[in-house]
Amino acid sequence: MNTAQFVRIPGHRMSLLDGEQSYLKSDEFTAREKIALRYCDAIIGNPLDADAAMWEELHRHFTEPELVELGHFIGFMSGGQRWLLTLHVQHGDLARSYEERSTTETT
């Protein structure tokens, strides 16, 4: 698994987020962004990739509170994406459905 399993933006730097971790070889991302993306890949893909060397590099670029916040956000967003996939919906579908139901119930 990778950070952008569902991102498809041809020509944009986000297209470098692929299964081969092309972002690591790219000049489009800073060192800080690259380690954050590796952290993301470890959280949503293989937590065993978060070895001592990765943590050392993460701590060079982020404070402990930033790592907690980043990890929490990655987990939250990844879980949300997986949940939406189980429902076979896309971003906005649930909000529109709720809004339509609310409008119908109040009229």
Helix and strand totals (H; E) in the chain: 4, 0
pLDDT the model gives residue 16: 59
Residue 2 lies inside a defined structural domain of this protein: no
Residue 70 lies inside a defined structural domain of this protein: yes
Q: Domain span at residue 94?
A: 13-106
**Which residue's entry shows tokens 């949503």?**
44
pLDDT the model gives residue 53: 96
Residue 67 lies inside a defined structural domain of this protein: yes
pLDDT the model gives residue 4: 47
pLDDT along the chain (107 residues), means of 10: 50 61 81 93 90 97 97 91 83 78 72
User: What's the predicted TM-score (pTM) here?
Assistant: 0.69
Contacts 24+ apart (CB under 8 A), 7-14: none
What domain count does the chain have?
1
